[in-house]
Amino acid sequence: MTSHRAPKQWSLSSNETITSIDAWENNLKYILSLDPNFADFLTDGSSWGKKTNATPLRGFSNDPESVPAARRRTAAQKVTHLEMMLGQIANYAPIISRSSIVKNSTSISGVWQTIRQHYGLQLTGSRFLDLANISLKPEQRPEDLFQSLMAFIEDNLLTTSSGITHHGEIPDTDEELSPSLENFVVLTLLCLLHPSLPWLVKQRYGTELCSRTLASVKPEISQALESRVDSTPVMNPRSYALLPRLIIAHLFLLDAGYYPSLELSSPVLFASRLVVLIFGHISSAIASFCPSLTVSSCPRFAKWLALN
């Protein structure tokens, strides 16, 4: 018979993220569930009282005789097994007060909430606003950013045990990731990579998006992004946030009949040539998303390039 063993449990450090906390929690849950004495305490809805001198049994009572003898436990045995389990959790969370886990906890969800609260990762209504702090880091690839966004959204889904109300009501069931929410994550990814990417994706994948959701097309988008990053490693999409405005401004000049290299002062001429340089550098990246968008498809810009 094949045995399935979880990775060896590790201790929490002083710096943890949503992803690392989830991995630590899930691995520990699996290990604890292997002990039949702990399994009942890990189920949703299971609760107990705080350990005090007045309530040493923490609200437990002896099992009735209707429970099979092999599984029957006294209140004292339940307390012993519970505190053994909570002690194990505390051993792997040395940065958290041991009493807050072993003596003051009243449910397993409360234990996980206490740990998350220490790291500022507890689920609150205001925590969703932290989405504004997520951005592409220099060492990250687009797919890394997407996974960070997904982890954040999934961690902020409402649950019946979160205690958070929506329009005055606590949800009856745990929230699931809907197709619209998946689309929102992909759109957020594109906007964070570059403000113009949503438009480019709409142009490039317009046919597919007629019958498929944005999230469904995400694998193709990711492949295009990764191939572009591999072939142009020095390119950072966020560096060109002002480029569309520069091009539009110069197109207005062209419409008015002014050609920078012929009639404007040297500072403007320098800026014009800078736009040419930047546009040439990213034109291949734009073409990978929208092959129909080329310099030749923009007569005014093509004329300007010819003059420069």
Would you give the end-to-end CA distance of the chain in angstroms? 74
47 has a pLDDT exceeding 70: yes
Has residue 29 got a pLDDT over 80?
yes
- For residues 161 and 238, the model is more confident at 161
Tell me what pLDDT residue 57 has: 95
According to the model, what pLDDT value does residue 266 have? 45
pLDDT at 260 over 80: no
pLDDT over 70 (residue 264): no
d(CA 129, CA 112): 22
Quickly state the pLDDT bin for 231 (edges 50, 70, 90): very low
Estimate to the nearest angstrom the gap between the alpha carbon of 156 and the chain centroid: 9
Mean pLDDT of 207-220: 94
Residue 270 pLDDT: 46
- Confidence grade of residue 298 (pLDDT, cut at 50, 70, 90): low
For residue 302, the model assigns a pLDDT of: 53
d(CA 244, CA 138): 22
Burial readout 44-57 (b: 16 or more C-beta within 10 A, e: otherwise)? eeeebeebeeeeee
Q: Which residues pair with 47 in a beta bridge?
A: 107
pLDDT at 279: 52
